[in-house]
Structure 1
């Protein structure tokens, strides 16, 4: 059954379009309404093709413990279907139109059935594939509505016979696993419609969360204390309390979060999630009384979640239970009146429950906003699983679903596990979370509140409010990095470098708890089609991912946006963490307010559902599903005054949509001699994994930064306007006689080519690029430019060195496609003087 939010949209379309509805459904597809048959040859079991890149990198001979029994059940195997080249091209073009405010197809969402009928294999091809599976003894469980996958079940023996690969037992660090020992093979005739099998192993994605201490709250004073000193050693404590070493900690309650990220004005206006749904992808049941206690103890309305079991009920699963509890409690904490719908699927010997829940949510159009908080790197997913997630998420974006994924908790070391006990250093190099790298999801990274360097009273009240809030307002942020490689820890120990901090922590500080993997993840997609342990592929950079700071790497970069994600620090180091009610680790008496035990927690598993909660407020405010949020996020970021919105200096009452983090990194500790590990001191056993620094604008540590929720929600529609700015000419070439000598000036004209009602606001004009210092300019462009009006920038070239010097003139504004660029190139005859700094434009509002 289709969901209410989609039914309402379809009714509106039917009423608004009348007789044109049929024409619309044909034109948006861009291809024939009846896909051509692609299985045209007879199936010959002797003519096989390998499905390469689908052996898990840990399914190695040294871990092999032999073949599994042929009778071992393998249920809900996911066969990933392939679109034709024509369909891929048409779908990409249609997606561009869906997110272009100037297109007639803007926000024209498809149903799952429409998507499958247009962009999936033909009926005949589906029958051929399912018949082939049934002939090998498999049971067909389902064909997805979007025709992206076929679920089927059988035994290990049947898998071996049909796909020509054995399933083996493996043992890695005491963990038992099963996996295929070689790449599967299929008949050549089926290859045009089959990408591969998403998974024939149980090396499943992991929750992206870190746990801190267990704490209690005094119901009279609101003060928090750790349950015992040993639990506080693991990570950080809660609310406001003093730990065993006399340091005051501050943990984050829902009303703290609402104060810091400016949710309260929205709540006061009734923009609180009323009438909205948020879907949570789950792999375990949760204890509903935990959610009720969380809501009651923090002054939130009683709003129990809805649980949907997709197939077998897995019950309460260790690890996943805490993950899903966090997701439900904090998505609801941000949007307290929204209906949180958690879809729960049991993992099988071959398929991760979270993947099955993702597919259910997208195929059943469960909600216009979805959050998932599991992760594993692109390399470990393999070719078919990367394709499966990307294809599913593209379907979701085409249906109008806003999907939020945890970017990961491994910093720059995406293939590592944050679950490995300390000391734990990276050895696998730079990687990203393959569940978040798809260009059809918002990858949510993590920040940390950096309040420790300021007087306590700067950011915190002396006592908690009745709802447990202590925060006064926005708090300065840095990338979340709770390791010895993190900038805060280096500062805390007054060390000269992260490398020395990590080696000292390991060797002499007795702070091995800092030699761990724990930071908000980021980087570039580069491993979607791996071969063995080597990487290739990576998603191309989407058209909307542009702006100040976005790397010119041609690849999809992570994260997109970040929110607070810290789980705290070891005992003795001040910090903050989220709070949840979760009875997984402790027996609690929830009928007695004085006996409630809270779990400190963090990770991008917290920031993703929190941002999904904010997105549900956008949907409520706009009255319509918005689909992929990234085009609007980047468009809004392009209009920001980055100086005014610098997280280090921004004040309350600001007009910022994003808080730009500009200091700190997500670099991780690594083993000397391993890939991408930088060790500068001879003899050091640990180095730092070359990661990513927070810089002006976008960066691979925190993306666009964190958000001011009220400004984001209220400003959403401004990014969907049809203002248009053109720069003419699009490029300029300069020559100069020598280094330091000015060229003749040249002019670039900025024109508002939008409709009469659309005035453009220019927020900044600047130079960017490697040779930006060799260019200067003056302008009298006004802050606002009416439709049809134009202004000029006079550009001068003054080379700072020899050679060809390239840069961009960048115009930041509120027009569609901002920022706009004009290419600048200059060359000189000889280098005879030292470099001279450029002169900034004299009158433009330069950012």
Structure 2
């Protein structure tokens, strides 16, 4: 590359080469042309043809990122429809809190043993700026004592803007509340392919923390669309997967939000209603964080009654009566509310990992068809009434791995600023698997604070634990009112694609990790 006047820097892992140079020199080196385009309202740089590497390099290089700056990355935050919101003025006004989560899933037993994350560091990878002071205000409002100066912000490639600041704020607030004595590194990159990659690569390369979480992603369908249009490298998912594999080799426990659109992840970004899962939660080297709804019994303002008797897979099928009464499906924005729930299904990018093979419920499924597509492109959808139940088989990486409360109806508060030097506000009932990933990050720090060595990548261990006679997991196996808008329980299996292995008793999980 030197003959084309490009300068390279090799990462400490020897896996990534970062190149710098002029646009003209990149065009010459990769035998392509860079140009500015506008697509779906976004302005970005793209290439007119796929880059070509010299033969000496092509067999050793998995892929090239950065020649195109297109992205469709979104947060996995979900808010209640505005007319269902409560008026929150503090964290205490929301149905759930980090303390209630700790009590529900038996993390308080570890606090009583003195395990609070002391001596641990958590990494958060994100694509939006935030105000660190907001996190301290949040913790103080909940009566959580935390060390001063526990936050270190690392701006990668110049950092990012404020769009999505509520995501970064809640990531820090939730992980820091669950592990109150741990330190937190926040890696903030621009919301671009290279910004996302560089932020994750820096966190993994520096290897300063035994646990890491991120809550941004895009559907596999959106990635496939981008590849077919020449906007994305065909090995995009493999490139990120390589970083997570590096992290697993280093003993990093990585947690990624599984998505907030149920089994229809592409409805949020590709505008299609095919069955799809979220990337990078589909990586075989991360623990994919799914979501549940907690029990609730409520009469809504219009008289609609809702009754969730037991903790279940999160989807808003229990609100369909309310949505129908208000004709939400008549608008694009209203229809989107019908497609809310925890992400889960089978990956089309990655094969079934060894740790999932042979586990009952993996690669088999029970489903409920609420919807059917109306055209070959799967861009239109209509209701199936009454819903139709069926069973089937599939293959691929099964998502998620486990689940905790994520429904905004039983969710949390967020304290955040939307710009520099702007007063922060309390967000009304928030939810989404964006909460579960940083919460698991905090749980991992609590667990690791009681171990001499890193617990490491969870999945090969937790799938083994789940099949034992003293499993720390409670599979959510009800066959009624327990789905992510498609996948539901198969009756009596260890795993299902709505909630993975189920919910967790963290005290029992800690004991299992200790053996």
Bin for the TM-score computed over the shorter chain = 0.7 to 0.9
Partner residue in 1 for 2:348: 526
C-alpha contact (below 8 Å) 1:563/1:611 kept by paired residues: no
Matched residue, 1:798: none
1:504 Cα offset (Å)? 5.1
The residue number in structure 2 matching 1:799 is: none
Q: Which residue of 1 aligns with 2:370?
A: none
Q: Could you tell me which residue of structure 2 aligns to residue 233 of structure 1? A: 83
Matches within 5 A, 1:465-476: 476=310
Please name the residue that 1:441 is paired with.
Answer: 286
Show the counterpart of 2:46.
179
Q: CA deviation at 1:315?
A: 5.4
Q: State the Cα distance separating 1:291 from its structure 2 match.
A: 0.6
**Secondary structure in 1 matching 2:96:** coil
Are 2:36 and 1:139 aligned? Answer: no
Find the residue that maps to 2:83 and give its secondary structure.
helix
8 Å CA contact 2:352–2:396 kept in 1: the answer is yes
Structure 2: distance between partners of 1:237 and 1:207: 26
Contact 2:88 2:426 in 1 (8 A): no
Contact 2:157 2:195 survives alignment (8 Å): no
Tell whether the 8 Å contact from 2:257 to 2:437 is kept in structure 1 after alignment: yes
Deviation at 1:579, TM superposition (A): 1.0
- Aligned-pair CA distance for 1:299: 0.8
- Post-superposition CA distance 1:95-148 (Å, at most 9, x none): xxxxxxxxxxxxxxxxxxxxxxxxxxxxxxxxxxxxx2x3222232x2112222
- Mapped partners of 1:406, 1:700: distance in 2: 14
With the length of structure 1 as denominator, give the TM-score of the two structures: 0.50
Q: Does the 8 Å CA contact 2:216/2:257 hold for their aligned counterparts?
A: yes
Alignment pair present for 1:480 and 2:328: no
Distance 2:420 2:127 in 1: 21
Deviation at 1:558, TM superposition (A): 0.8
- Distance, in Å, in 1 between the alignment partners of 2:295 and 2:273 is 29
* 1:475 positional shift: 8.6
- Structure 2 distance, partners of 1:637, 1:378, is 28
Distance 1:259 1:378 in 2: 35
Residues 276-304 of structure 1 deviation map (CA, whole Å, 9 limit, x = unaligned): 11111123332111011001001111334
CA contact (8 A) 1:237 1:250 kept: no
Partner of 1:609: 438
Structure 2 residue 130 is matched with structure 1 residue 286:
yes
Please report how far the alpha carbon of residue 396 of structure 1 lies from its aligned counterpart in structure 2 after TM superposition. Answer: 1.0
Partner of 1:44: none
Give me the whole-angstrom Cα distance separating, in 2, the residues matched to 1:699 and 1:548: 9
Structure 1 residues 154 and 519: alpha-carbon distance in aligned structure 2, compared to 1, 3 A threshold: farther
Cα displacement (A) at 1:365? 0.8
| Equivalent-residue separation in structure 2 for 1:316 and 1:600 (angstroms) | 24
* Structure 1 residue 232, shift from structure 2 partner: 3.6
How many Å separate the matches in 1 of 2:411 and 2:421?
Answer: 21
1:541 to 353, 374, 388: 353
Does the aligned pair in 1 maintain the 2:292–2:342 contact within 8 Å? yes
Paired with 2:311 and 2:22, the residues of 1 have a C-alpha distance of: 51
- Residue 406 of structure 2 corresponds to residue 565 of structure 1: yes
Flag the structure with larger Rg: 1
CA 345–250 in structure 1, closer or farther in 2 if over 3 Å, else same: closer
User: TM-score under structure 2 normalisation?
Assistant: 0.81
Q: Which residue of 1 aligns with 2:109?
A: 265
For the pair 1:377 / 2:219, whether they are aligned, the reply is yes
Distance in structure 2 (CA, Å) of the matches to 1:409 and 1:624: 34
Counterpart Cα distance in 1 of 2:177 and 2:405: 14
- 2:203 maps to what in 1? 361
Within the alignment, does 1:332 sit opposite 2:176 as a pair? yes
Query: In the TM superposition, what are the counterparts of 1:77-476 in structure 2 within 5 Å?
Result: 132=1, 134-140=2-8, 142-204=9-71, 206-212=73-79, 232-233=82-83, 238=88, 251-303=95-147, 304-314=149-159, 316-319=161-164, 321-346=165-190, 351-379=193-221, 380=223, 382-417=233-268, 426-427=271-272, 429-452=274-297, 476=310
In the TM superposition, 1:483-502 aligns within 5 A as 486=317, 488-490=318-320, 492-493=321-322
Deviation (angstroms), 1:353:
2.3
Distance 2:87 2:3 in 1: 58
The verdict on how the C-alpha distance between 1:429 and 1:406 changes in structure 2, with shifts beyond 3 A counting, is same
How far has the Cα of 1:404 moved from its partner? 0.9
What is the alpha-carbon distance in structure 2 between the residues aligned to residue 199 and residue 516 of structure 1? 36
Q: For the Cα contact (< 8 Å) 2:157–2:198, is it kept in 1? A: no
Q: Which runs of 5+ in 2 are unaligned?
A: 224-231, 300-307, 365-393
Determine if contact 1:542/1:556 at 8 Å carries over to the other structure.
Answer: no
Structure 1 match to 2:383? none
The one of 493, 507, 510 equivalent to 1:710 is 507
- Asked whether the equivalents of residues 207 and 605 of structure 1 are also in contact (C-alpha less than 8 Å), the reply is no
Cα offset, 1:170, TM superposition: 3.2
Please name the residue that 1:103 is paired with: none
**Change over 3 Å in CA distance of 1:661–1:329 after alignment to 2:** farther
Judge conservation of contact 1:305–1:328 (CA < 8 Å) in 2: no
How big is the shift at 1:318?
A: 1.4
Verify the 8 A CA contact 1:408 1:433 in the aligned structure 2.
yes
C-alpha RMSD over aligned residues: 3.2
Asked if 1 retains the 8 angstrom alpha-carbon contact of 2:412 and 2:429, the reply is yes
Q: How far is 1:628 from its partner?
A: 0.9
Counterpart residue number, 1:657: 473
Q: Secondary structure at the match of 2:450?
A: helix
Q: Deviations over 1:373-428 (max 9, x none)?
A: 1112335164322121111111111111111111122322233427xxxxxx9525
Alignment of 1:753-772 (within 5 A): none
CA distance in 2, matches of 1:344, 1:480: 29
Residue 312 to residue 184, structure 1, CA distance change in 2 (3 Å): closer
Q: CA separation in 2, counterparts of 1:377 and 1:340? A: 28
Q: Distance in 1 between matches of 2:429 and 2:298?
A: 22
- Contact 1:407–1:520 (CA under 8 A) maintained in structure 2: yes
Matched, 1:600 2:429: yes
1:588 and 1:199 mapped to 2: Cα distance?
33
**Distance across 1 between alignment mates of 2:441 and 2:159:** 25
Q: Structure 1 residue 526: deviation in Å?
A: 1.2
Deviation at 1:187, TM superposition (A): 1.9
